[in-house]
Structure formats: C-alpha cells, structure tokens
Amino acid sequence: MTGGTVGLVVPAYQPDISRLREYIEALDTRLSPTTILIELDSPGENTETQLADLPARVESVPYRLGKGAAITEGFEKLKTDIFAFADADGATPVDSLAKVVESVQTSSVDISVGSRRHPRSDVDAHQTIVRRFLGKGFTWLANTLLSVPLHDYQCGAKAIDANCWSKVREHLCEPGFAWDVELIAIAGALDLRVEEIPIEWEDRPGSTVAPVWDSIDLFRALLSARHRARQLRNDRLHKTIAAYSEKQTPIIESNR
C-alpha cells in the first residue's frame, strides 16, 4: 500500500487524564489521522467530560471490557485504509508510532509491530527485575511456539492494513493483554507479512498489568493462540484436539 487513510484507537482503563489529553493532541498533530477513537473501559464519573474537547471520539462501556476487546471494538468502527492502536499511557512517543503506521502505508507490509526489545530500540525502562525476567521469558517461549519470530510481541503500538484486519478479526478471541500475541499468531497462520519496527519507549508508572498473574494468563493464551493457528494450517493433531474441545467465542461476536 502507498499512502492510505489512518484510523487510530486508544484503549484506556483508568487513564491519567492529563497525560492522555497531551498524547491525543500530539497524535493528532503528528499523524493527522482521519479518526481517533478513545475506547474507555469503566470510566470514572467525569472522565468522558474531561476528554470531550479533544480531536477524538470518545466511546465507553460501564464495565471492564479488556484491552484486546476495546481495540477490536474500535477497529470495527473504523472506515479507514489502515487501523492502528497506541496504549493510553503514551509510552510509545508519537514519532515512533508514526514509523509503525508508515511501515504499512509505504510498503507491502500487512502488519507493523512496534518493538521495545529490538536491538535498535531506544528504551528508558524502570521495570522491576521480575517484569524484565518474565518479559524476556515470554518472548523466548513465543519465538519457540509461533511461526512469526519477534523481539517483542506485547508492545502497545501496532498497525494493520484494513483488508488484512478483515481476515484476522473472526479468529481473535482474547479480550485482554494477550490479544497482541494472538494477533501475531493468527497473522502467521494466514501468511500475512509482519514487520517489526524499533521504537523509542519509556516505561510509565501506574501500569494496570499484574506481572505474575498476567504472565500466567499470557502463557495460557499463547498456547491457545498456537493451537488455533495450527488449526488454520490444517494441522491434523490440532484439528482433532479442537473437535473434542470447547470452541472459543470470537471477540466480534461476544462484543455484540
């Protein structure tokens, strides 16, 4: 694809309002997207009002939808050529997100993935030893199990061609933080072209990620994503297992 309109989704759960406002304004100035959607999970009493004057449309649900479900919900509303998302904490600077989007705009890439762990990335990290250890361990395991090798599967900055979104959307079932790795697993099974983009990144305080419990959930989701990716590849063993297992509900169906 050369050029193309851009729609941007920002999933937000208990966001820092001041930081989010600054980030949205910077994204609008730098990327000039056709649409910015802020998908709010369980917003506080005045959250929507505090964001109302931004160059973005604010959508909300009164309960915890989950990062993956929020992104999916937003993507389903976009009418642009390229869909992108960025985490609400602004850890990915606008110039880095622009590089992720431009990778899809200017080349034959189907999905562009921001990477904090790429050798050329510039990272200002304040993560605990436990979080760094779990992150590296998960990346190693994902590289072992999935067909798309990456340095970083979970970075909150990705872009996808709209036509490719139509191919993966019905296979995405993970509503939470595991959505990212599931997206890459399904993309690999469908032979989509994935490019990893080194970014600048700054760890933000106040993360809603619980390192140990979310790592357990990620491990479960990784196995599940691999299983469904292998089914798409017509793997006999995984198709047999699926015949005796409970079928997962795609997000696009559960969000209705």
Which residue blocks in the chain are alpha helix, DSSP H? 17-31, 47-51, 67-77, 94-106, 129-145, 162-168, 179-189, 211-232, 236-243, 251-254
pLDDT on residue 124: 73
How many CB atoms lie under 10 A from the CB of residue 214? 20
pLDDT on residue 217: 81
pLDDT on residue 216: 78
Assign 3-class secondary structure to 86-151: ECCCCCCCHHHHHHHHHHHHHCCCCEEEEECCCCCCEEECCCCHHHHHHHHHHHHHHHHHCCCCCC
Cα separation values, 25 from 19, 65, 68, 73, 90, Å: 10, 25, 23, 22, 11
pLDDT on residue 254: 82
Spatial CB neighbours of 155, under 8 Å, sequence gap ≥ 6 = 92, 113, 114, 115, 116, 180, 199, 201
**Fold that domain 6-246 belongs to in CATH:** Spore Coat Polysaccharide Biosynthesis Protein SpsA; Chain A (3.90.550)
Sequential pLDDT tens for the chain (256 residues)? 667 999 999 999 999 999 999 999 999 999 999 999 999 998 988 999 999 999 999 999 988 889 999 999 999 999 999 999 999 999 999 999 999 999 999 988 999 999 988 888 887 765 555 566 567 788 889 999 999 999 999 899 999 999 999 999 999 999 998 999 999 999 999 999 999 999 988 876 655 555 555 677 888 889 999 999 999 999 989 989 888 888 889 999 886 6
Helix (H, G, I), strand (E, B) or coil at 52: coil
Residue ranges of the domains in the chain?
6-246
pLDDT on residue 126: 58
How many CB atoms lie under 10 A from the CB of residue 21? 16
